[in-house]
């Protein structure tokens, strides 16, 4: 093994052999970050720069005028934009919290509990990964309608709680926890709830962070529940408002700055949550396929 120390796959210090990776990765990273830079730049452009020809890529005189204009807008039913933002925040918080709870409990049960049809249920969950949302739109609507959740916040939350990829990731991660650890806790008198909360949950934090990101992105960017289950405008989310923004501000150059500000509001929460949780996401992806 000593012969390999001088040629590590992932050395701790910079070496000239790594230059070839930086030559490829740095330009690639710059290209991939350009859309983000343009989004921020467009949202911060004043009116005169929006009308400038040829258009500029980087804003010269940044201003929050577009954001102020967006927040002061009201649609044709005189509902302020802040109401849509409030609905999105409430629904996103509820979905993320409940999706974390259900994914963790389901993944733990499928991994460490012995019961009939356990493997069958996991296979059904795996098959569910192949279904596109459009394939279950009608049965999902029928369930929501029969439960009387039309025009309620639960009509936003319930359809988005099913997160097969979250259950899959958590189950694969819990598989890495030694059975002996859980058995030792049970011998010491710990009940299932204590084992789950004090032993399992701290060990699956990377998987839970990944589930939180996936759940948040699903609900924050979702306009389907507003268009299908909500006829009351006051219950619709900001993602739905984004789809109607062109009719609210008009299709003109000045309106593009407001649209860019709205797109920035949609993007920033996704960026923040990924920046803070990216390391745990990488850990999850590294362990989810191991046995």
> pLDDT per residue over 76-101, tens digit each?
557 788 888 899 999 999 999 999 99
80: helix, coil or strand?
strand
Stretch 192-203: mean pLDDT, rounded?
A: 87
Please report, for the chain, the start and end positions of each structural domain, with discontinuous segments joined by +: 2-67, 73-287
pLDDT at 288: 52
Per-residue confidence (pLDDT) for residue 154, from 0 to 100: 92
pLDDT of residue 150: 92
With CA atoms as reference, report the closest residue to 262 among 237, 245, 275, 274.
Answer: 245
Instruction: Please report which confidence band the pLDDT of residue 3 belongs to, taking 50, 70 and 90 as the band edges.
Output: very low
pLDDT, residue 87, reads: 93
pLDDT of residue 290: 46
Mean pLDDT, residues 245-259 taken together: 64
Cis bond upstream, residue 273 (ω within 30): no
204: nearest Cα among 90, 110, 91: 110
Provide the mean pLDDT of the chain: 81
Average pLDDT over residues 241-267: 73
Across residues 272-288, what is the average pLDDT? 67
pLDDT at position 135: 80
Give the pLDDT of residue 131.
80
The pLDDT, as a whole number, for residue 99 is: 92
Phi-psi region of 250 (alpha: psi -120 to 50; beta: other; left: phi over 0): left
Asked if residue 74 has pLDDT above 90, the reply is no
Q: How many of the other CB atoms lie within 10 Å of CB of 246? A: 13
For the chain, give the percent of residues with pLDDT over 90: 13
What's the rounded Cα separation, in Å, for the pair 45 and 61? Answer: 7
pLDDT tens figures, 6-43: 455 556 666 666 777 778 888 888 888 888 888 888 88
pLDDT at residue 264 tops 90: no
Q: Which backbone phi and psi does 207 adopt, to 5 degrees? A: -65, -40
Please state the rounded mean pLDDT for residues 133-155: 88
13-17, 55-59, 179-183, 251-255: which is most confident: 179-183
Helix intervals (H) in the chain = 19-43, 47-50, 65-72, 81-112, 118-128, 137-146, 153-157, 164-174, 179-187, 192-194, 201-203, 205-220, 224-229, 238-243, 245-249, 253-287
Mean pLDDT of 249-272: 76
CATH 1.10.600.10 for domain 73-287, yes or no, is no
pLDDT in tens, 205-224: 888 888 888 899 889 988 88
Does residue 242 have a pLDDT over 50?
yes
Q: Which residue has the higher pLDDT, 53 or 254?
A: 53
Distance between CA 36 and CA 44 in Å, rounded?
A: 13
Residue percentage of the chain with pLDDT more than 70? 85
pLDDT digits (tens, 9 = 90+) for 200-209: 888 888 888 8
Whole-number pLDDT of residue 175: 87
pLDDT of residue 70: 79
Return the DSSP state at 278.
Answer: H
What value does the mean pLDDT take over residues 62-76?
A: 75
């Amino acid at each position: 093994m000593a012969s390999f120390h001088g040629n590590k796959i992932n050395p701790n210090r910079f070496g000239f052999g790594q230059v070839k990776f930086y030559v490829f990765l740095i330009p690639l990273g710059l290209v991939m970050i350009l859309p983000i830079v343009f989004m921020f730049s467009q949202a911060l452009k004043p009116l005169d720069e929006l009308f400038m020809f040829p258009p500029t890529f980087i804003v010269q005189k940044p201003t929050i005028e577009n954001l102020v204009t967006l927040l002061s807008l009201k649609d044709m039913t005189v509902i302020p934009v802040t109401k849509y933002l409030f609905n999105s925040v409430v629904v996103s918080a509820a979905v993320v919290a409940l999706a974390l709870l259900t994914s963790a409990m389901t993944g733990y049960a499928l991994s460490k509990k012995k019961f009939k049809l356990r493997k069958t249920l996991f296979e059904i969950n795996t098959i569910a990964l192949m279904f596109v949302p459009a394939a279950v739109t009608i049965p999902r609507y029928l369930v929501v309608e029969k439960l009387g959740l039309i025009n309620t916040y639960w009509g936003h939350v319930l359809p988005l709680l099913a997160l097969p990829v979250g259950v899959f990731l958590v189950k694969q991660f819990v598989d890495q926890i030694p059975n002996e650890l859980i058995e030792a806790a049970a011998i010491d008198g710990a009940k299932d709830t204590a084992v789950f909360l004090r032993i399992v949950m701290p060990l699956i934090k990377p998987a839970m962070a990944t589930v939180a990101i996936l759940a948040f992105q699903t609900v924050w960017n979702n306009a389907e529940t507003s268009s299908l289950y909500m006829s009351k405008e006051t219950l619709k989310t900001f993602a739905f408002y984004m789809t109607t923004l062109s009719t609210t501000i008009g299709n003109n150059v000045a309106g593009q700055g407001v649209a860019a500000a709205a797109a920035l509001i949609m993007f920033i929460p996704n960026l923040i949550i990924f920046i803070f949780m990216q390391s745990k996401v990488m850990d999850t992806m590294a362990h989810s396929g191991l046995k």
